[in-house]
A and B are shown apart, each in its own frame.
Chain A
Amino acid sequence: MKYLIKKMLRDVQQNYTQFIAVFLMATISVMIYSGMASVWTGLSSTVKEEVDETNMANLYVSATNITDDDVSDIKDLEEDLEISLICKRSFNTVDGESEIEVNTVNNFDVSKFTLISGETYKEDKEGIYLDKDYAEKHNLNIGDDVYLLNAWGEEVTLTLLGTIHSPEYIYYTGAITETVPNYEKYGYGFVSNNTFLKLNSKINYTLAKITTSSEITDDMLSEILGERFVSVTKRADYTTYSRVEKEVEQMKKMATLFSLVFILLSLLTMYTSMVRLVNRQTQVIGTLKGLGVKSRQIKFHYALYGLITPLLGGLLGLLIGRLTVSKVLLNVKKTTLYLTEWKLVFSASSFILIAIIIICCSMAAVLAVRKVLKSETTDILRGNINQGRVKKELKDKYFLSNFSYEFRLAIRNMSENKVRFIMGIVGVLGGMVLMIAGLGVKDSINGSNDYVFSKQFTYEIKGILKIPGSVLEGEDGLQYLYENSVEIKTDLKDKKTILTALEDGNYYHFYDNDDNEINIKDAGVVVSRHLADELGIKAGNTISIKVNGDDSFKEIKVNAITKTLTPQGIFFSKDALEDAGIKFIPTSFLTDQKDAEYYRNLDEVKNCITREEQLNNTKTVADSVMSVVKLLLLASVMLSVVILYNLGILNYVERIRQYATMKVLGFYMKEIRSISISESIITTLIGWIFGMLIGGAFLKLYVKIISFDTFEWIAIVNLRTYIIATLVVVGVTLVVNILLNKKIKKIVMVEALKSVE
């Protein structure tokens, strides 16, 4: 066996191109997948730990003025039930530059915070515990003073007692108008009840955080809280937590779907590489068999070919993935999520992937050897195996006879070597699909953003009213909106989403699937397409809705489905809302005026955001997706190069004898080149055509899968993307052809022909 090991090492040395190709394919596939998987596995694991450590609530009950009696009654519902009451309110800093959401609690049984630095929380301590990121952003150290304006506009000085983190604030944007965290502007903190009373005249607990392993229904809580009951949110639906879950889910889908394509591509290429590698060793296999080496040993020997290279490649992929891909992705995620610790955890699926690659390669080698070993030794040595079917006589009127010999040769070569031909097509096709999908994601996100912020929204500023229902006196040209959360019930499923009702105005536009504008005043009730698909809603359907704060469901007829990309929800005209028995209470307004500062300074306005700021925020989210896509794109290009070069080299090695013969017969290099290029052109052309078609379809699926619930991205591919993808794939094919032609030119005729004889 030791001699066979030596032989294997020398085979690797002699066929280093193919072994390196298999090695690289395994490395790239594992690197990308495991690099990303480490991040989401680590993220999930850290969040889970934080949830456990802080005893994060699994139910959030909103109500007005929750009392100690209510707490006792709720506790009586289940034995293991724990409950904490929270009162929170946002206060501006004295400089007016930022806003802190200050929490005070009746106890820390549920949803404790994690102390990062400073002293342990004590009820009698005066001061504030601030979130670490906000404190860092504002250069605040323990013992520093924090200046806030209290509810009646007086300055209150609070000492910074500690920096903290809470899993409930992993994703915290501060205001409904913001879509990405902005620690410069928004922070959160915890204070004792006494301290809170310096900021606010009273403590009104409006949120109860509950942990329980039992099922607590809305009715049970409604019975206890009566009319004060507003709503219950499960942990999975709680904004920050669900955001993390969605990000993990999105990352998983992005990586898995993309990786699936190039892993399949790699596996196919690795499989054929191994088979072709073994097939070139037919004589050696025959000799080994003739010498009496057991079939089992021969199979094992070749199985090692498929074991060692992918194993080493896979392990290197794990390492590089951890050092590069994970790091990049981690930095991206750190911009939108805050965790006390960012861990990378190797996912079991990465090891499964390596195992699949190894099994695929080893099986390929073993199956190829088995096929050879089935023949008699003498036949193997004579090369009388794998003859395939005997070709029939060609008739004179054979359709190819009108073409050049080079073309005929290329066509018959391809029909005779179907695996080689198909793999060539798959290589080009795969490269095109990955490239179109990668670049297309960027087009799609940018296109979707443009659609939303130029076609769908035409206002300049969106403002949030401090007191819902109030109006800005003396301001003309405003369009008021009523926004609230709503529970929609259909035959398919229930979902909490957003209800938006609009006064007459021209700042919010709705379009149908054919981009014809829907007049909301005429349509009355419309549902966004993505949500409609999810809930199985069609125009004309009747659905049940329960607006946040209402105690019963109402039957509503949906008149149209709109292409609206964001927000995803149900939209009413003011009249339709009131016809449905829901009061129109303005919560925000839209205007075409451009002076955001003017509106920010109005007493009635809580905060406002310009359309441009909204677009930039969306772009930040898109950038985080794009950085992942860039990684995938880079891997795709690398993989395409390796696959196409490997296939090219395999073709060259298998045809070296033919090229040498042609050289001897006096063929010019350009003639030999034209034969090899004809084949390459046909393969590339077919791969390119299918790549263009499948690329677009794959992008559609990909964009649909990675879209957030709240923002439906639409698949758009610019001409530029098709051109770049084509140039890259055709360019790689061209470079591979140039390299191979150099090799053909360098063929030593005597050696190439001697080796055969």
Chain B
Amino acid sequence: MIELKDVKKYYQMGDSVIKAVDDISFKIMDGKCTVILGPSGSGKSTTLNLLGGMDTVTSGEILLDLEDISKYSEKELENYRREKIGFVFQFYNLIPQLTIRENVGITADMVSDSLDVDEVINAVGLEKRKNLFPQNLSGGELQRVAIARALVKNPRVLLCDEPTGALDSETGKMILKLLKETSKKHSISLIIVTHNSAIEKIADQVIRVKDGKVVSDTVNENPLEIDEVVW
């Protein structure tokens, strides 16, 4: 179970205080797909960063399996990111000097119970491209590598920040499908942050945020298949 309790994240900008996340609380279902939906500046990415241990809270608690990660030291956060979290960026952020297989492999080497590198690459459909460098791939392929890189660690939670934001609709759908299927297969909690409301239809849980606050938190009893979603 992932739970955020009264989480605040304030930034000091000169004389004024920016309330990026302003007292939000919600629970995320294990092994399900959760979409955090909101417009630009709503605080959704900040929430994801806090969940991913990339940023620290101003106040409040973030619990993962009853452990409060907001109290973690720098070192503990490092271990947390390493062992529990998989991260997929909007702009992939692959290491350009490593091949596809190496990008995935270098992450697999970080944990003891990683998945098989080649199997994961095969699962994302890049078995024939694994010896290429990121520079040789299309946007969709790059995002598949990013997903493989995140999945190979067999993380507890998979965090995706606008994973389809830089892709066309068809490729976007393909990526979402891949994300959902693979996370389900490995019982990974999938959390997607997006401004694209079309995506909410595939989610098991939808949390809407605006101006740093949770506007709604709903459970989708009948999520649509990706192919059914109109972009």
Contact = CB atoms under 8 A, between A and B. Distances in A.
B174 interface: no
B136 A667 contact: no
A667 B96 CA distance: 17
Contacts of B78: 663, 666, 668-669
Contacts of B26: none
A396 interface: yes
B87 A664 contact: yes
Contacts of A393: 131-132, 136
B47 to A, nearest CB: 12
Nearest to B150: A665
A753 B93 contact: yes
Interface stretch (B103-111, B200-208, B214-222): B103-111
Interface string B66-92: 000000000000110111010101110
A662 B52 CA distance: 13
Contacts of A749: 49, 54-55
Contacts of A398: 131
B18 interface: no
A756 interface: yes
A296 interface: no
B102 interface: yes
B97 interface: yes
Contacts of B110: 665-667, 671
A409 interface: yes
A661 B95 contact: yes
A420 to B, nearest CB: 12
B195 interface: no
* Most-contacted residue by chain A among B83, B105, B106, B149 (CB, 10 A): B106
A176 interface: no
B131 A394 contact: yes
Interface residues of A, number: 31
A664 B132 contact: no
Majority secondary structure of chain A interface residues (helix, strand, loop or mixed) = helix
A657 interface: yes
A756 B109 contact: no
A664 B102 contact: no
B132 A412 contact: no
Contact of B93 (A395, A405, A661, A669): A661
A669 B97 CA distance: 19
B176 interface: no
A544 to B, nearest CB: 69
Interface in B148-179: 149, 153
A666 B96 CA distance: 18
A219 interface: no
Contacts of B85: 666
A185 interface: no
Contacts of A394: 99, 131-133
Nearest to B133: A391
A391 B96 CA distance: 10
A409 B135 contact: no
B49 A750 contact: yes
A412 B98 contact: yes
Contacts of B49: 749-750
Given A390-B136, A391-B133, A405-B106, A666 B93 contact: no
A395 B79 CA distance: 34
A671 B153 CA distance: 16
A664 B54 contact: yes
Given A664-B87, A665-B107, A668-B82, A408 B132 contact: no
Contacts of A450: none
Contact of B52 (A658, A664, A756): A664
A170 to B, nearest CB: 63
Given A664-B52, A666-B85, A395 B131 contact: yes
Contacts of A661: 89, 93, 95
16 contacts: A391-B132, A391-B133, A394-B131, A405-B98, A405-B102, A405-B106, A408-B98, A409-B97, A657-B93, A662-B95, A665-B87, A666-B79, A666-B83, A668-B78, A753-B89, A756-B93
4 tightest A-B contacts by CB? A666-B82, A412-B97, A666-B81, A661-B93
